[in-house]
A = this chain, B = another copy of it.
């Protein structure tokens, strides 16, 4: 077991009828919020009304910043920063999924920084300060509601990069599983795949194979995601399954699932970021394509040990090949694509995708060559 630090000060309010509780929490931090949300699903499902009523009741004014895209983009983020500054917002409130929360984090940091917000993503500046952030999560997937990272795509450069820093932890995140009862199957699938992806990265890339407690935690959360997905697809109105999924996805990327593995490496995410930077594809769908292929390469290079252990513990199957099959079968059963062709991405594009991935790989100093990325993508044709 390798040395690690763990610190996560996010206050979670979880359960039914909890959205109104964000009002008094937000009022502790400021008077005027930038209210960040996406395409309007929060207006359809009642979250917007509940949240704004709560802000009003607590004496918090707000300025709206709507229209966050599923893979949030830099131009819209810059608009948010401008709006937060011009309106002298002293806090940010985000309502939506991981994309909304990610863009809100970037705006929170950008509003406190004199330079361009992209500096945090391209390695030019470190996040040192940010406006206090409060979130209402409506889509379990990214874990952004309980961590200090965010991902934004620079459309001009076709770069989907991330920023990190303690100042980006939300102060309070409200997780009401009832807001997820209306999520369509495709979003359930994408969220489940994303949560699984967060659980497997450190587990499979660690050089330390004796981290018993975290292995157990990873298995536990992965089993929980798989079981909840199965239940939700069968009965979308199953509150307890929605709740289990929501908390599992949060725990999958709040730091716990990496403790003791000795640093985190994200090869699957790095490759996927190029897919969703270059094509109009959901992050979860991209991951469902990359992971099985990456496992095949992992099996050839690192041997069967981890796949065997994970497969037995999570899917109840024996052997590394069966584990990869079980991953694919699970992703497929959830409705996610597992090959590039299924997402309409031509094999001829593989060199271009791999070249794009090298940007983040170089920035992060990862030991991964363009040829190795291509090797993974070839197995996903």
Q: Which residue of B lies closest to A9 (CB)?
A: B9
Contact-size category for A: 35 or more
The answer to the question of A345 belonging to the interface, with a C-beta cut-off of 8 Å to chain B, is no
Q: Which residue of B lies closest to A218 (CB)?
A: B220
* Contact A247/B260 with A6-B12, A9-B9, A11-B7 known, Cβ cut-off 8 Å: yes
**Segment of A29-37, A85-93, A153-161, A237-245 in the binding face:** A237-245
The answer to the question of A217 belonging to the interface, with a C-beta cut-off of 8 Å to chain B, is yes
Please give the distance in Å from A105's CB to the nearest CB on chain B.
Answer: 19
Q: Is the CB of B247 within 8 A of A177?
A: no
Chain B residues within an 8 Å CB radius of A260 = 14, 243, 247
**Segment of A116-124, A205-213, A332-340, A360-368 in the binding face:** A205-213
Chain B residues within an 8 Å CB radius of A14 = 3-6, 259-260
The answer to the question of A216 belonging to the interface, with a C-beta cut-off of 8 Å to chain B, is yes
Q: Is the CB of A240 within 8 A of B211?
A: yes
Q: Is the CB of A241 within 8 A of B212?
A: yes
The answer to the question of A223 belonging to the interface, with a C-beta cut-off of 8 Å to chain B, is yes
Over the window 1-37 of chain A, the binary record of Cβ atoms lying under 8 Å from chain B Cβ atoms (1 yes, 0 no) is: 1111111111111111010000000000000000000
Chain B residues within an 8 Å CB radius of A248 = 213
Question: Copies of this chain, how many?
Answer: 2
Please give the distance in Å from A147's CB to the nearest CB on chain B.
Answer: 14
The answer to the question of A192 belonging to the interface, with a C-beta cut-off of 8 Å to chain B, is no
The answer to the question of A221 belonging to the interface, with a C-beta cut-off of 8 Å to chain B, is yes
Select A1's contact among B1, B221, B243, beta carbons within 8 Å: B243
Chain B residues within an 8 Å CB radius of A125 = none
The answer to the question of A224 belonging to the interface, with a C-beta cut-off of 8 Å to chain B, is yes
Closest 3 CB pairs of A and B: A3-B15, A220-B220, A216-B220
26 contacts between A and B (CB under 8 A): A1-B15, A1-B177, A1-B247, A3-B14, A3-B15, A3-B16, A4-B14, A4-B15, A5-B14, A6-B11, A7-B9, A8-B8, A14-B260, A211-B244, A212-B227, A212-B228, A213-B243, A213-B248, A213-B251, A216-B221, A217-B220, A217-B251, A243-B260, A247-B260, A251-B256, A256-B256
